[in-house]
Amino acid sequence: MEPLEKAKNFRGPDGPVVLVILDGVGIGKYEEGDIVRKANTPTLDWLSQNSFFSQLKAHGTAVGMPSDADMGNSEIGHNAIGCGRVFAQGASLVNKSIETRALFEGDVWKELIENVISHNSKLHFIGLLSNGNVHSHIDHLEALLTEAKNEGVKNACVHILIDGRDVPPTSALEYVNRLENFLAVLNKDSDIDFAIASGGGRMKITMDRYQANWGMVEQGWSTHVKGEGRKFESSTEAIKTLRDENPGVIDQDLPPFVIGRGNEPLGPIVENDSVIFFNFRGDRAIEMSQAFEDDEFDKFPRGPKLKVKYAGMMQYDGDALIPKKYLVSPPGINRTMGEYLVKADVKQLAISETQKFGHVTYFFNGNRSGKFDDSLENYIEIPSDIVPFEERPWMKAAEITDKVVEAIQSGEYKFIRLNYANGDMVGHTGVTPAVEIAVETVDMCVARLLKAVKKTKGILVVTADHGNADDMYQRDQKTGEIVFDQQTGKPKPKTSHSLNPVPVYIYEPTGTVKMRLSEHTDLGVSNLAATCLKLLGFEPPEGYTPSIVEID
């Protein structure tokens, strides 16, 4: 790759350029339900009047999703922020691979199907059951099931993870009923037995990330693989019963369940079976993949490695090669901002708490594990608390801020990137009083960063990767009216990301840099990379989307 060229008219600030990502803090379309607007945010309010301000798209085609009806997420958002360009992302890649039949003509698919047919064993599917299009899509599952039957598979089990996070919080039966009806059609042939075998809420089992809570994965292993746990005759019965027993529970928190025929579990995973994790997004699929694939495993009492054929929808970690087999190749993202800065001898700091640590490192670097240069990069992970986010909405924002203020004042780094997870992680709970505290927490923390940047004559860039806390009520898709809960009379909470734009504030405290907003329109989060490079005194590389500001 070509080296960065230094700008002729600006050498960069005396202090560092600090990129602050307020995860899940967007610009709401409606006043009601926009907790970012409702919260007391004196720092962001001040920045809106005293910095260069613009709005950025953070969803849909602006971040590589198939259409503008698709929400963004933290993974693809940090991909775009870090590489300065837009790549076709998970859902788009899987859609294309299915449409062209490349997935089914691939060696991995053929190997898994052949294994099942030759051993007269079962084909298992594990993944998030919804059309949220963030981790997975039910259309993909149905396509895989259809092709499996067409190729001669007689027995298949689906282990469903209940969403309620990227879709309405109590919409599980919509997807379960659809899948049950779909399976019933496939099962019309007398020798076909395709069925749901187990399930549970996505924040209860299986879908942990960043090794924050291996207990979730252990519970998922017991449920899906061993078939251990409370048994029900159907997933519909399980969901209805568990809701009745846990008033107010939302789908993502539903306890695990096993479908049984008599006293026996319907679909434990046993030797010579084939298993597909049909999520396309990586962060919450890595740990279960390790449990299936690692020869030596000490995260929980798994027992000997299970002799099965295992594959992910995609490879979830390209550097660690997790999993070893996958159906669709991820986008090849190169020439990231972090790599360019290392080549330019710029020392960098990346920091967040566990929940978003992989986003400011792995995803920011183009789905690449590890550092480009140990001597020029420092990655700091602040361990997240393992408690419900609504019970501790401040999370680790203060601890992150302590470290960043220290780093700014040290003079050691020229570029610092950080993520405050609060707006997103607390936003996903749907508990609006907690979300308000979360937003106010990060506003207080940004105030501290602002002071440190001002003192060191650096430049502060405050933005977000996507919205969430700005859109906390469900609305009728046609009218836009709030949907109310008939029992409580209160607005139904919305726990998924929003389709709203996100802010960007660029604060240069000295007032000596002749800076102006660029005339480019249709800006998105991918424009942030060129912006940061320009603020550091470099010309953005060829192919990067343009900078948000110009320096005269």
Mean pLDDT over 445-462 rounds to 98
Of 548, 510, 513, 505, which is closest to residue 43 (Cα–Cα)?
Answer: 505
Please say if the pLDDT value at position 68 is more than 90: no
Of the listed 51, 74, 92, 547, which one is catalytic?
74
Residue-level pLDDT at 332: 80
Inter-residue contact 156 to 123 (CB < 8 Å):
yes
pLDDT in tens, 77-132: 999 999 999 998 888 899 999 999 999 999 999 999 999 999 999 999 999 999 99
Domains 5-88+332-551 and 91-328 share a fold: no
**Does CATH place domain 5-88+332-551 in 3.40.720.10?**
yes
Range from 43-47, 125-129, 368-372, 530-534 carrying the lowest mean pLDDT = 368-372
Helix axis angle for 527-535 and 74-83, nearest 10°, is 40
Count of other CB atoms within 10 angstroms of residue 543: 10
**Cα angle for residues 144, 149, 154 (degrees, 5° grid):** 125
Range from 290-294, 313-317, 408-412 carrying the lowest mean pLDDT = 313-317
Range from 261-275, 393-407, 524-538 carrying the lowest mean pLDDT = 261-275
Beta bridge partners of 232: 259
Q: What is the DSSP string of 364-410?
A: TTTS--S-S-TTTEEEEEEPPPSS-GGGSTTTTHHHHHHHHHHHHHH
pLDDT band at 409 (very low <50, low <70, confident <90, very high): very high
Rg of the Cα atoms in the chain: 24
pLDDT in tens, 356-385: 999 999 999 998 989 999 999 999 999 999
Domain 91-328: CATH superfamily, name plus number: BPG-independent phosphoglycerate mutase, domain B (3.40.1450.10)
Residue-level pLDDT at 1: 86
Structure tokens at 17: 């350029």
Count of other CB atoms within 10 angstroms of residue 477: 7
Please say if the pLDDT value at position 162 is more than 90: yes
Mean pLDDT over 279-295 rounds to 94
d(CA 130, CA 107): 27
Residue-level pLDDT at 319: 61
Highest mean pLDDT pick, 1-5, 92-96, 443-447 = 443-447
What is the rounded (10 degree) CA torsion for 417, 342, 57, 472?
A: -30
pLDDT in tens, 186-204: 999 889 999 999 999 999 9
Please say if the pLDDT value at position 210 is more than 80: no
* Peptide bond before residue 323 is cis, with ω within 30 degrees of 0: yes
Q: Is 375 a catalytic residue?
A: no
pLDDT in tens, 8-27: 999 999 999 999 999 999 99
Domain locations along the chain: 5-88+332-551, 91-328
Which pTM value belongs to this model?
0.79
pLDDT in tens, 246-285: 999 999 999 999 999 888 999 999 999 999 999 998 889 9
Strands 17-22 and 257-261: unpaired
pLDDT band at 224 (very low <50, low <70, confident <90, very high): very high
User: What's the whole-number average pLDDT of the chain?
Assistant: 95
Percent of the chain with pLDDT over 70: 100
Mean pLDDT over 440-452 rounds to 98
